Amino acid sequence: MELSQHVEQERGVLKWGGIGGMAGSIVLVIVFVIVGVFVGSDPHEPMDFPGIRVARTFEDGLYLAVMILWIPFFLALYRALREERLAPALFGSTLAIVGLVVLAAGALPHITTLAVSDLVHAPGATISNEAALELWKAAYAVFDALLTAGLILATIGVICLGTAMIKNPKFGKGIGWSSVVLGVAGVIGASVPLWNPDSPAPVVAMVGIIVFCAASGWKTYRASRLA
The whole-number pLDDT of residue 62 equals 95
pTM above threshold 0.85: yes
Of residues 191 and 170, more confidently modeled: 191
How many domains does the structure of the chain reveal? 1
Query: pLDDT tens digit string along 189-216?
Result: 999 999 988 888 999 999 999 999 999 9
Q: Which domain holds residue 191?
A: 2-226
Contact 183, 208 (CB under 8 A): yes
Round to whole Å and give the CA distance between 142 and 138. 7
Query: pLDDT tens digit string along 115-162?
Result: 777 666 666 666 666 676 777 777 788 888 999 999 999 999 999 999
Q: b vs e for 91-128, b when ≥16 Cβ sit within 10 Å of the residue's Cβ?
A: bbbbbbbbbbebbbbbbbbbeebbebbeebeeeeeeee
